[in-house]
């Protein structure tokens, strides 16, 4: 998939996250916020020229690791954005699998971070 298509997916997911949050669906909002960030991270890796094996890694943790190594550690993406991706992934896992309640304030933070993350990467890599 091309970076433009991935950024479009990321923006759509971020919009969906905000809609779900406003509707009171904190679990759904965390899910969509994470996938917005995940797709934006993939788009940034594609746009940065990372090879296909990196971009098409089979696991979420693998892609997040590659994003950190290729873009955060190199200074092309801020450490704060890298940390927010990891924290939103944790919230998504809690929302989707662990059954623990996600607090509305955490979901709000996740959605805000997703919007910041997607916009920052789109600005830098498109």
CB 33 within 8 A of CB 112: no
pLDDT of amino acid 47:
93
pLDDT of amino acid 4:
93
Q: Token pair for residue 115?
A: 């919007």
pLDDT of amino acid 88:
95
CB 31 within 8 A of CB 92: yes
Three-class secondary structure of residue 29 per DSSP: helix
Give the residue among 89, 102, 121, 83 at the shortest CA–CA distance from 26.
102
Q: Which pLDDT band holds residue 13 (cuts at 50, 70, 90)?
A: very high
pLDDT of amino acid 117:
97
φ/ψ region of 101 (left if φ > 0, alpha if ψ in -120 to 50, else beta) reads beta
Domains, the chain, with CATH or none: 3-125 (1.20.120.330)
């Amino acid at each position: 998939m091309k970076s433009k298509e991935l950024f479009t997916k990321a923006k759509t997911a971020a919009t969906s996250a905000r809609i779900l949050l406003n509707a009171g669906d904190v679990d759904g909002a965390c899910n969509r916020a994470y996938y917005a960030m995940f797709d934006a991270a993939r788009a940034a890796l594609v746009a940065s020229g990372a090879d296909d094996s990196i971009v098409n890694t089979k696991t979420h943790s693998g892609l997040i690791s590659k994003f950190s190594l290729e873009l955060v550690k190199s200074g092309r993406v801020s450490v704060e954005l890298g940390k927010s991706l990891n924290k939103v992934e944790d919230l998504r896992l809690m929302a989707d699998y662990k059954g623990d309640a996600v607090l509305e304030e955490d979901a709000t933070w996740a959605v805000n971070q997703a919007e910041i993350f997607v916009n920052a990467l789109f600005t830098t890599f498109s």
